[in-house]
Amino acid sequence: MIAPIEGFSKLTKAEKIDWIAANYTDNPPVTKNILQRYWNSDNQLQKLHDEFIENTLTNYYLPLGIAPNFLINGNLYAIPMAIEESSVVAAASKAAKFWLDRGGFKASVLGTEKIGQVHFMFRGDTKKLEKFFVTVKPQLIADARPITKNMEKRGGGIRDIVLRNRTDQMADYYQLHCTFDTLDAMGANFINSCLEQFARTLKTEALKVDYFSEAEKNVEVVMSILSNYVPNCLVRAEVSCPLADLNEDPAIAPEELARKMVRAVAIAKTEPYRAVTHNKGIMNGVDAVVLATGNDFRAVEAGVHAYASRSGNYTSLTHAEIKDDRFRFWIEIPLALGTVGGLTKLHPLVKLALDILQRPSAQELMQIVAVAGLAQNFAALRSLVTTGIQQGHMKMHLLNILNQMGATASEKAILIDHFKNDTATHSAVVDAFHKLRDH
């Protein structure tokens, strides 16, 4: 039985590594060696990463790739993607190239509203609370001015504060439901700071109200926190082309491909088991760009899936139709993203990713990310309804399998060539590798 440890965070990095290696691994020297191999030789860069979180032992790499040739609203982008899944960047690049020859992607931002809530308990007469709220609202906004004044100078800030009565859900439960525009910042710290100030004002001003009973004066704030559900921070991206232009593959008529794609989307709209996987493929593209640009992919994931179930049924984030002899394919997705603040100046790779994207505004980044999601879904559906997903997937995964088996560079070259025309299932690759070695 391993004993609990006191004061782990106070240990030096070397002591932390010694402790974890000795207590939780079979081979401490090997553990230490693995952790140290990922240290950066540039001490300043290493220190930067050490200080992002507590108890850092080493760095955790993900590949950063580029999907070029994305034509979005007439601008050509090379999109940085941080992801470990073999086929994602390849699929994005393929879809980008396909739509480059067909007018590219059109994207537009439908809203930028961010949301935060102060959840509180009020034990008394709702009518009196409503009367109090009318008078306290300007005070809530005024007391938050030290936090909001810079954001206001740039055109953002608090958009509204609404009192919501949720006593139908829970006895005595009310909210200040607050909306914000945080411009190019994701805005989590800004919003949370405003909310905590609203909560302070709410409590102190309630104490002064002469028409409140003692119980009513005692507003109990439960918590003040932004919401990652942002249905009005919404972006739309779409592609379309004449039906006849849809396909490059002579094995399937373009009309047939279009019909199959529309049907595949229709299945994802009605069948939640399929919708989750369909949307997972979209998030392959979304998360990879969100991560590369230093944004909070957990926030995006939570918000997107909540949006996908806003009707009460979990459904597809993309839509497709054939109309007037055209194929149309589009996505609407909530994305609260930032291109200033957070990691954007701090993490050299994030800064570089944003430079590669031509230093986008938050709204431009929303459009780019939505396009990456749409492209990924297009690529996945096109494979799924034609050759199946494994052909392309295993081709990309081939290198992982060969690396796992310790193939040399020349063995890799021979086997990659071998699997150009054969489906690279795991067992077929293992067999071919052993045949080559034993030859």
Which residues of this chain interact with ligand MEV, rule CB under 6 A? 85, 277-278, 280-281, 284, 380, 384, 389
The yes-or-no answer on residue 397 being catalytic is no
The yes-or-no answer on residue 431 being catalytic is no
Q: In whole angstroms, how close is the CB of 308 to ligand MEV at the nearest point? A: 14
The yes-or-no answer on residue 324 being catalytic is no
Contact 397, 219 (CB under 8 A): no
Tally of CB atoms within 10 A around 226: 24
Nearer to ligand MEV, 288 or 380 (CB): 380
Q: In whole angstroms, how close is the CB of 312 to ligand MEV at the nearest point? A: 23
Contact 295, 347 (CB under 8 A): no
Measured distance CA(116)–CA(97) in Å, rounded: 40
Q: In whole angstroms, how close is the CB of 315 to ligand MEV at the nearest point? A: 14
Please, which residues bridge with residue 227 across strands? 115
Measured distance CA(439)–CA(420) in Å, rounded: 21
Nearer to ligand MEV, 121 or 276 (CB): 276
Residue 68 region, left (φ>0) first, then alpha (ψ -120 to 50), else beta?
beta
Contact 28, 22 (CB under 8 A): yes
Contact 86, 109 (CB under 8 A): no
Nearer to ligand MEV, 88 or 115 (CB): 88
Q: In whole angstroms, how close is the CB of 376 to ligand MEV at the nearest point? A: 8
The yes-or-no answer on residue 205 being catalytic is no
- Beta-carbon contacts of 359 under 8 Å, excluding residues fewer than 6 positions away, are 339
Nearer to ligand MEV, 277 or 404 (CB): 277
Q: In whole angstroms, how close is the CB of 245 to ligand MEV at the nearest point? A: 23
- Please give the span between the terminal C-alpha atoms of the chain, in angstroms, as a whole number: 50
Measured distance CA(254)–CA(243) in Å, rounded: 6
Which residue among the candidates 280, 347, 351, 395 is catalytic per the annotation? 280
Nearest to 218 by CA among 117, 124, 119, 118: 124
Q: In whole angstroms, how close is the CB of 379 to ligand MEV at the nearest point? A: 9
At residue 45, φ and ψ (nearest 5 deg) are -65, -40
Q: In whole angstroms, how close is the CB of 422 to ligand MEV at the nearest point? A: 21
Measured distance CA(230)–CA(115) in Å, rounded: 7
Nearer to ligand MEV, 136 or 261 (CB): 261
Nearer to ligand MEV, 141 or 288 (CB): 288
Which residue among the candidates 119, 296, 364, 397 is catalytic per the annotation? 296
Q: Which residue lies nearest ligand MEV, judged by its C-beta?
A: 281
Contact 277, 381 (CB under 8 A): no
Contact 394, 424 (CB under 8 A): yes
Contact 275, 304 (CB under 8 A): no
Nearer to ligand MEV, 274 or 328 (CB): 274
* Residue 132 CA: distances (Å) to CA of 11, 170, 365: 51, 21, 41
Which residue among the candidates 18, 85, 245, 255 is catalytic per the annotation? 85
List the catalytic residues.
85, 280, 296, 393
